[in-house]
Structure formats: C-alpha cells, structure tokens
Amino acid sequence: MKTLHQQATERARQWLASPLDDTTRQDIQRLLAQPDPKELIDRFYKELEFGTGGLRGVMGTGSNCMNRYTVGMATQGLANYLVKSFPNQKVTVAIAHDSRNHSRTFAQITADVFSANGISVFLFPDLRPTPLLSFAIRYLGCQSGVVITASHNPKEYNGYKAYWNDGAQLVPPHDKNVMAEVNAIDGIGAIRFEANASLITSIGRAVEEAYYREVLARIPQKEAIVRQADVPLVYSSLHGAGITMVPECLTRMGFSNIIVVDEQREPDGNFPTVESPNPEEPSAMQMAMQKAEQTQADLVMATDPDTDRVGIGIRGPQGYFLLNGNQAFSLMMWFILKNNRQPNSYIAKTIVTSELVDDMARDLKITCFNTLTGFKYIAELMNQMEGKAHFIAAGEESYGYMVGDFIRDKDAVSACAFFAAMAAAAKDAGQSLYDWLVQMYVDHGFYKERLINLVRKGAEGEQQIKAMMQRFREKPPAELGGKAVVRMLDYKTRLDRHLISGQEVPILLPASDVIQFYLADGSKISVRPSGTEPKIKFYLSVKTRIRSAGEFADAENRLEANLGAIEEALFSL
C-alpha cells in the first residue's frame, strides 16, 4: 500500500507531465525538491471532492487546492455530465462569484470551459450573493449553476458550489456522478479551456428585480414597518457580496435608518478588518456591535462573503449580545409561524439544529421535517413535497436560513429582511427582540446550545478526525456530565440504539458520518466532521422549562453549568 508521500509524489509528477503554466510548473518542482514532504502531501495527497458545500480548499498549486486546473477539471466533469443528462437539449448554466481573491478569475475560467463544451453561460458581471445564483437558475431556466466562493472560510480558501436545475446544490446521485466524470478525465490536457465567447452572456438587472419582488411579497406585518421605518438597523457585509443587495432590499422594504459599517463596506478578499469573515465568530461581529452601541440600534446584522449566512446581535438588559444560530433561527420561526395563515404548511431544519423548533412547530400544529446537514438536503425535501404541502421556511444552526420556496439554498439577503421586519414589529408592539426571545422560551421551552469546533488541518488532521469518530462508535460514553447516556444514533450505520433496553430502530435518512447521544435528562450531543472545513464539530444542547420571564436568568445559569459539565466530560474521554 502506498504511503501518503508516495501518492502525493506520483500525483505531482503526473501534473508535471501535463500542459501547465510556468508558475505552476516551478511551484511543483519546488515542492518535490523540499526535504520535508508535509507541504507536498497536503497539496497533492488527494483530489478535491464535493462535500456538503461542494468543492472547497486552500488556494494554491496542487490537486487538493483551488487553482485554475482543479476549477477547470471540476467544470469539465460537470459539463460532461450535463451533456449526458440533457441529451438533445440546449444546456445553459448560470455563474456567480463572491469577493474572494481569484473568485472573478475562477468564475471566468468556469464560463470559458462551459462555453468551450458548447454550453451557454449566463455570467453575473460583478460579485453577487450566492442566493441570487440559486434564484437565477430557476428564473432563467438553467440546467445547472456554479458560484465561486468558500463561504465563511478564512481568506486563504476558495471554493466551487455546483447547483442543479432546481436551484439547489448537487445531491446524490448527481454529486457522485459529477465526480465520476471528473475522475474519468484523462489528465489536465483534456480540459477545454478555449472559450466560445458567443455563448457567454452577462446577466442583467431583471434577475435582481424579480428576486426583490419575491422577498417583499412574503414580508408579514408591513404596516408595522411603515410605522417604525426609522428603527435603527446596523449592517456589515464583512467585505463580501452582501453590500450589493442587503441595504437595497431593506430600503425597498421602507427602512430609512440603515447604518452600514463603512470600514467593512468595500469588497476585499483579504478581509482586512477580521481574522475570519465568519459571522459565527464573535470577533467578526465586533465592529458591527460597536456601531450598534454608538447608534443605539435595535438590531445588528452581518453577512459572510457570499451572503448565505447572517450573524445577529440584539440589545438585552445588560447591553448588546450575539444570538447563536439556534437562537436566531428559533426566534425567526416563532415570528413567522405566529404570522402563518397558510393551511397544510411545513418547515424544515437539520438534525443538529435546536429541537426547540420541533417543539414550537408541534405546539403550533405545523409539520417540522429534519434532514441531514446541508441545505441541499432541505431543497431535496422541498422537491419531494412539491404540490403536497406549503413550504414556509427552513434553517440550520450554522446561521443559514431560508424563507419561501423561490430559491433552494440558504439566503442571508431575505433573512436580513425578515430579521429587520421582526425588529420593527417588536418595537411597534412596545417590546424588543430580547423580550420576544424570552417569551419564546416561556411558551415552548428553554433550550441552550453550544458548538465546539476542533480544527485538525492537513492529511494528518483528517486521520485524527476519523480516529475520533471511530472511538465514539466503538466505545460510546456511559455518561456525560453526570448524566447517563441512554440513546445513541449512528447515522453511518443508520441505527438508533436505546442503550438501556438494547432496542434498535432504523434511521430513515441517508447514511452520514454523524453520531448523536441523548442523556437521561433530555440533553443531546451531536458529533460530526465538517464537510467543508478541516474540523470536527460537537453540538451540545440542554433544556428546561420556565414559567415566566422572571425565571430566565436563574435557568440560564443552570443550563450554562450543564453545558460546561458535558463539555468537560467529553474532552476527558
């Protein structure tokens, strides 16, 4: 069996035998000549694969990196699959990109390769949010689409999200079939890089206008917005694509006091004001929160570079604080479901997202479906439910939300619109979003969640993550935080095991590398490797009941202690 070093060396030499530009050739020669093989292994030990978010990697030379050739190879494979999937049809694709370094270059390469294969291309003339790409595919009647982005990853990353004709990211069998087509390509020399410019068309404003109409048609309590049009709203695009649409959408809704964080307004792939452009990280939200303090804003919003995720901050009794993704999604659902007038409706969420939403939906007599992690699975569910029930909204704990079925991916533009509408409606009722958050807990149960990320980079890190998952499967903990583990769900084996009785029930979702433990008091721990980043994720959830807002503070302290005990127990295993 070949070592990782041998595999990487062999793959690097295969690249050298291909038609490459001089800079790439010289870099490969440098990697092969280095006495320490770690960099060579990390860049060449495997091919980039489609995960929950498509193709994603560090920019640079190598088969495991984002560069001209891996983008070209992915596009050639997708082009081959599209031609086979839609025989005797004119195939069209839409392409968008965010503000990351090389994003425009990679978008143009993608357009060139598609056009070289006889496929017509609609290309956005400048950076635009990912959700607009999802919308454009459906609006323009395309068979596929691509957006060049690494979403919320650090600045050294870029990525390639591929979409099908429903406006959703690729799901089985399409993702595996595309990779099979990529693997069948006979080297870099088989990529068709020579563009057919006559097949590439720039996308005009009509797509954006149609998108705004869809969003505005779904906003509830419009009369409250009219009365509270001057509610102060802070927004930051974190140097990303959100600046092109979020302020405009809020303005069209009627808001007149939109406070943009100027230091983060300019699109910039180096993200100079943040360590990482991820609204899940408190440090990325710092400037926006400071602006809120200065302006006494009712709501803080910040979107990631491709504008499919949004971080939320609100004002409480002790000052401004950040909502986590579970809190923000739950609060949005509380607002939307209370205003829902459609019969036979449903919402959707992922298996690692707060079960408060399940409880809320049950209390309000709305069906709630759970899917695997990734909005592509939510979109797949929506396709299955087409014509059977009315879709309301969906979300996941990782700051992604979607309202309405006019797109099929998470959408921070429309999410910002709904959070702003919530702020106006709360103020119009003489309350705040904090008041609503606590009331939601009183009504449906108090859940408190925590996400722990362990980063393990490179080939060595990947092996460490696999070993951790294997240990949890082979030796599940008997207790965590002083509470017995009573149930284990292994989505890889698709078995739900009740550890006390020994009863096993099949899990009806597709296989996935996720493990969940339930404790005797109802606490829940989910463990999964990230599909888009070099990390393993631990999702902790504890819960209790409160009868009034006066019980909130004491209950929060108890739940925080429970989370700490579980975390300590996890990392002492």
Query: What SS3 state is found at 465?
Result: helix
CA of 73: how far to CAs of 143, 154, 477, 531, in Å? 19, 24, 44, 20
Q: Which residues pair with 347 in a beta bridge?
A: 368, 393
User: ∠65-159-103 over CA atoms, to 5°?
Assistant: 100
Q: Which residues contact 118 (CB under 8 A, 6 or more apart)?
A: 83, 91, 196, 199
Nearest Cα to 128, choosing from 303, 256, 328? 303
Q: Which one of 99, 134, 151, 512 is the catalytic residue?
A: 151
Residue 548 CB neighbours (<10 A)? 9
Please answer whether residues 128 and 99 qualify as being in contact, where contact means their C-beta atoms are separated by less than 8 angstroms.
no
Please answer whether residues 161 and 146 qualify as being in contact, where contact means their C-beta atoms are separated by less than 8 angstroms.
yes
Please answer whether residues 120 and 91 qualify as being in contact, where contact means their C-beta atoms are separated by less than 8 angstroms.
yes
Tokens of 15: 């690249």
The label of the residue with tokens 């001057």 reads 230
SS (H, E, C) 114-141: HHHCCCEEEECCCCCCHHHHHHHHHHHC
Tokens of 449: 């969640």
Q: Which residues contact 29 (CB under 8 A, 6 or more apart)?
A: 16
Return the half-sphere exposure (C-beta side, CA atoms, 13 A cut-off) of residue 333.
37
310 CA to centre of own chain? 10
Nearest Cα to 500, choosing from 482, 520, 470? 520
If phi > 0 it is left, if psi is from -120 to 50 it is alpha, else beta; for residue 233 that is beta
**CA–CA separation, 416 vs 414, rounded Å?**
5
Tokens of 242: 């959100």
The label of the residue with tokens 């859940």 reads 447
Please state the length of the chain.
573
Please answer whether residues 516 and 448 qualify as being in contact, where contact means their C-beta atoms are separated by less than 8 angstroms.
no
What is the C-alpha R_g of the chain? 24
Q: Which residues contact 242 (CB under 8 A, 6 or more apart)?
A: 129, 235, 303, 304, 307, 412, 413, 416
Please answer whether residues 487 and 498 qualify as being in contact, where contact means their C-beta atoms are separated by less than 8 angstroms.
yes
Peptide bond into 277 cis (omega under 30): no
Tokens of 112: 């060139």
Told to judge if 151 belongs to the known catalytic residues of this protein, a careful annotator would answer yes
Tokens of 319: 């000052």
Tell me which residues are annotated as active site: 151
